[in-house]
Chains A and B, each alone.
Chain A
Amino acid sequence: MSRKIREFGVEGCIKLSGLLVIIFVILIFLLLLKESLSLFGVYPFKDFLTGTKWLPVSDPPKFGIVPLLLGSIYVTVGAIVICVPLGVASAMFIAEVAPAGFKHILKSLIEILASIPSVVLGFIGIVWLGPFLKTTFHLSTGMCGLTGSLLLAYMALPTIISISEDAIVSVPKSYKEAAFGLGATRWQTLWRIILPAASSGIIASIMLGIGRVIGETMVVLMVTGNSPIIPHTLLQPLRTLTATIAGEMGETVSGSDHYYALFATGLILFIITFLINLIADIYLQRTKK
């Protein structure tokens, strides 16, 4: 009898923990939605979404999210363009080319890479990468989109490498055997057979990498120059959604329009990352089949 009660108790606890996680996500979403709606009562949603000026302290204030959205997109696209080829190539190297001992060293190095605090990367951006880019491209300031993209690419690399590597390793060995049996070289096998077979896992890794990049705050806050204007190139200072919230939250009065506008920005960010993770999940499911 007591065993039955214990079973019941344990089961209940596990269920509750699972439910709590879901409930928290929903509560966070509802909070964001509620605070955002407070803004949209006084500031039209359409102006918020299509406005090209973010001037929260001018009179009247303007809360156009376009420059921030574009800032996030520019930095993210830049980071992805840099880290996807690098990450997938590294994954290929680790999975198929590197000798066993070296493979272990590389894998633990990549884990260390993942554990570098983002504020440290921001530091490197300020004291080294920014000035370096400034002199290389003759910019007025090194605190620009490209600096952010480079550092974020570095941050997304571990995710992309480890998930892509898993996907490549899990391609059935028989494919490789078949390709070698037909006289394919290692490169032909990798390029024409293994990569296509691992493609859904690789796409999932890229999506998770994007999720990581777009939600990252500290690095972009430190190195992208924080100017909320519509960027034309990655070599200009810009500001992302995340940096805006982190940078301005401390200055706002609780309950003001500005305060609610930041929540609305958070809501947009939440929706974007949710969608990206959803896509990643769909592709991960596909790999399992």
Chain B
Amino acid sequence: MDKAVIETIRLNLYYGDFLALEEVNIRIHRHRITAIIGPSGCGKSTLLRCFNRMNDLVESTKVEGQILIEGEDILSDKMDLISLRKKVGMVFQRPNVFNLSIYDNLRFGLRIHRMMSEKKKIDEAVQNALEHVGLWDELKDRLKKNARTLSLEQQQRLCIARVIILKPDIVLLDEPCSTLDPVSTLKIEELLRILKRDYTIVIVTHNMQQAARVSDETAFMHLGKLIEFAGTAEIFSNPKEKLTENYISGRFG
């Protein structure tokens, strides 16, 4: 069996008394797109947010079990959250560009991690990141404009660029297309397929077609439990669990 990039072992997560994740064991592989699907409230976003410990921001969260990222237990006290989040980047549901110029949005991460100081190198990195997400040609002449003047799709691409400029290993996406129109959604999906070559991608989506279109592997969650995890084709054509079948055939959700 090949080595997993992300592995959880008997992961439990409580919000106060509420058990949001129960005994989750999942192994996510390198350079694949893994989709996490399930009805709302099933814990899919919660699981995703465990991978870069964004749940730490929510008060009274308690986590049990282990999460290994490239073999390292990220729940340990010794874990440096700053380098973890640099390695495991996250794109959120709504495009959350900063109220700064396009250029400064991209430079922010480089600055806080003190990755480079020469203007030439920063310019290069900015250009690279924008080329990577297919924005360079559109935006190269207006890098100084406020990022919030962009269309939502462009903003979401910029958010992806803002993550990959830090050269992460893993990119987490939390329903990245839920505020976008269908055409923009397809464009973002196309982008994910390209990014797969360089990054391990985990995407949470409530849109089953999206999971079917874009992912290599799919995890189905229900009420905090991981019900089934297999190749996307298998999940959608030949699910092993009754619950999975009911969900993907649209009987609940």
- Is the beta-carbon distance between A181 and B99 smaller than 8 angstroms? no
B211, chain A: closest CB distance, angstroms: 22
| CB of A142, distance to nearest CB on chain B (Å) | 46
1/0 contact trace for B35-77 toward A, CB 8 Å? Answer: 0000000000000000010100100000000000000000000
**Inter-chain contact A184/B112, CB cutoff 8 Å:** yes
The stretch among B89-97, B214-222, B237-245 that forms the contact with chain A is: B89-97
Flag whether A101 is at the interface (Cβ < 8 A).
Answer: no
B159 at the interface (CB under 8 A from A): yes
Q: Are A185 and B98 in contact (CB under 8 A)?
A: no
Interface string of A178-193 (1 = CB under 8 A from B): 1111111100100011
Collect the chain A residues with CB atoms within 8 Å of residue B140's CB. none
B107-147 residues at the A interface, CB under 8 angstroms: 108-109, 111-113
Interface centre among A177, A178, A196, A197 (most CB of B within 10 A): A178
Please determine whether A175 and B96 come into contact, CB atoms closer than 8 angstroms.
yes
Instruction: Indicate whether B186 reaches chain A with its CB closer than 8 angstroms.
Output: no
For A188, the chain B residues whose CB sits under 8 A away are: 112
**Given A192-B108, A193-B108, A181-B98 contact (CB < 8 Å):** no
- The A-B contact count (CB < 8 A) is 64
CB closest chain-A residue, reference B80: A183
Instruction: Tell whether, in the assembled complex, residue A185 and residue B112 are in contact, meaning their CB atoms are under 8 Å apart.
Output: yes
Query: When the two chains form their complex, are residues B159 and A178 in contact, meaning their CB atoms are under 8 A apart?
Result: yes
A223-256, CB under 8 A of B: which get 1 and which 0? 0000000000000000000000000000000000
Interface size on B, residues (CB 8 A): 27
Shortest CB-to-CB span from B165 to chain A, Å, is 9
Q: Nearest chain-B residue to A180 (Cβ)?
A: B57
Within 8 Å by CB of A181, from B52, B94, B113, lies B52
- How far in angstroms is the closest Cβ of chain A from B53? 10
A2 within 8 A of B: no
Q: Is A9 in the interface zone, CB < 8 Å from B?
A: no
Complex Cα distance A175/B98, Å? 6
Give Cα A136 to B225, complex, Å.
69
Q: Identify whether the interface residues of B are mostly helix, strand, loop, or mixed.
A: helix
| Chain A CB within 10 Å, residue with most, of B82, B84, B86, B89 | B82
Tally chain A residues at the interface, Cβ within 8 Å.
Answer: 17
Name the residue of chain A whose CB is nearest to the CB of B100.
Answer: A196
Q: Does A183 lie within 8 Å of B166, measured CB to CB? A: yes
Q: How far is the CB of B10 from chain A (nearest CB, A)?
A: 26
Would A177 and B83 count as touching, CB distance under 8 A? no
Query: Complex Cα distance A209/B143, Å?
Result: 36
The answer to whether B98 and A177 have CB atoms under 8 Å apart is no
Q: Contact: B85 with A183, CB < 8 Å?
A: yes
Docked pose: A188 CA to B159 CA in angstroms? 18
Given A177-B96, A183-B84, 16 more pairs with CB closer than 8 A: A174-B96, A175-B96, A177-B54, A180-B54, A181-B52, A181-B54, A181-B90, A182-B89, A182-B163, A183-B82, A183-B113, A184-B82, A193-B100, A193-B108, A196-B99, A197-B99
Residues of B near any A CB (own CB < 8 A) = 52, 54, 57, 81-86, 89-90, 92, 94, 96-100, 108-109, 111-113, 159, 162-163, 166
